Amino acid sequence: MINKMHKEAKIYVAGHNGMVGSAIVRELRKQGYENIITRSHSELDLTRQDSVEKFFESERPDYVFLAAAKVGGIGANSAALADFMYLNMMIEMNVIHSAFENNCRKLEFLGSSCIYPRMSPQPIKEEYLLTGSLEKTNEAYALAKISGLKYCEFLNRQYNTDYISVMPCNLYGINDNYHPEHSHVLPALIRRFHEAKINNSESVTCWGDGSPLREFLYVDDLAELCVFLMNNYSGNETVNAGSGREITIKDLTGIIANIIGYEGKILWDTSKPNGTPRKVMDVSKAESMGWRAKTSLKDGIRLAYKDFLSRYK
């Protein structure tokens, strides 16, 4: 029997100021859940075991979405392997363990597609987890995420809990990170093309030849899946989250330039690496349960750009 959330249930969304956490809060409110508890990073540092234990003992949430994490692109990840491992392991172990100690009915853990082997066959199925070596640049982050999802599985196996995990592909949308050095590819391109437009730049040079295939999911579609899984899925195996649609980086840049209204040239610096030629999730498991990503890439980028403009300084 799956533990469905009743509308008065006390729901803790960890990381509610982040892109994923804020989208989960929006989705919960849309579906009529009002008893949502949150704490900002400055109010509750989730790496501090004592503080997390006290918070769970006093609040005793019925359900937990764990969307707090130390997140960053390749540069940030590879420059701070130790920090990424320590901070993420601490957040995960503290939150998952305190939820368990305080009889949380169900917890959903957010991971990432980087948990899968570097040379995974494509599209990546959930069962490929731990079948090969990880990508070195984000090995620490991936190991921390694998530990989090395995800890959920081991609690289920040892104590019969109902803790689940979801692994999204590249995300974008409202509240994304547009930091010039620490952002992911899609928000980084939005910023670069926007700046090129306002500076009347003749050209924008992108890395590689634009041929790699990637998959992007609008964050509100992920949030809908997260709430859906909380109400409809139980199991030890993780669930992939993706749009199921692939696009080359070249086509993506064309769409972004067009939406932003940048009319200069787009050049490709082929002396720079392309990265993995193809990275796409097999999302048939989520789709077989009845979920499907609704937002088209163009609509999603329009919404993300609107949000970017409202926050860009």
> Which two three-digit tokens encode residue 7?
């509308």
| Calpha distance 175→189 (Å, rounded) | 16
The residue within the footprint of ligand NAP, chosen from 47, 51, 102, 156 (CB under 6 A), is: 47
Among 33, 141, 262, 305, the one annotated catalytic: 141
Binding of ligand NAP by 225 (CB under 6 A): no
Taking the chain, what is the end-to-end CA distance rounded to the nearest angstrom?
49
Find the binder of ligand NAP among 46, 96, 99, 129 (CB under 6 A). Answer: 46
Distance of alpha carbon 129 from alpha carbon 143, whole angstroms = 11
Decide whether 96 or 171 has the Cβ nearer to ligand NAP.
Answer: 171
Task: Give min distance, CB of 19 to ligand NAP, in A.
Answer: 4
Interacting residues with ligand NAP between 91 and 110 (CB under 6 A): 91, 110
Token duo for residue 50: 């004592």
Site string for ligand NAP, 154-173 (x = CB under 6 A): --------------x-xx--
Q: Is 226 in contact with 167 (CB distance < 8 Å)?
A: no
Helix, strand, coil abundance in the chain, percent, nearest 5: 45, 15, 40
Indicate which single residue of 11, 13, 69, 134 sits in contact with ligand NAP (rule: CB under 6 A): 69
Query: In angstroms, what is the minimal distance from the CB of 66 to ligand NAP?
Result: 8
**Least distance in Å: CB of 313 to ligand NAP?**
17
**Residue 184 or residue 192: which is nearer to ligand NAP going by CB?**
184
Phi and psi based region of residue 244 (left: phi greater than 0; alpha: psi -120 to 50; beta: remaining):
left
Q: Is 141 labeled as catalytic in the residue annotation?
A: yes
Q: Which is nearer to ligand NAP, 179 or 278 (CB)?
A: 179
Position 73 contacts ligand NAP (CB under 6 A): no
Name the residue with the smallest CB distance to ligand NAP.
18
94 vs 64: CA distance, rounded Å = 13
* Dihedrals phi, psi of 229, to nearest 5 degrees: -65, -40
The verdict on 25 binding ligand NAP (CB under 6 A) reads no
The answer to whether 45 contacts ligand NAP (rule: CB under 6 A) is yes
Q: Which residue has the tokens 């100021």?
A: 17
Contact in structure between 41 and 91 (CB atoms under 8 Å): no
Nearest alpha-carbon partner for 242 in 153, 166, 146: 166
Paired tokens of 63:
């359900």
Q: Is 18 in the site for ligand NAP (CB under 6 A)?
A: yes
Note the residues at the interface with ligand NAP (CB under 6 A): 15, 17-21, 41, 45-47, 67-71, 91, 110-112, 168, 170-171, 177, 184
Catalytic amino acids?
141
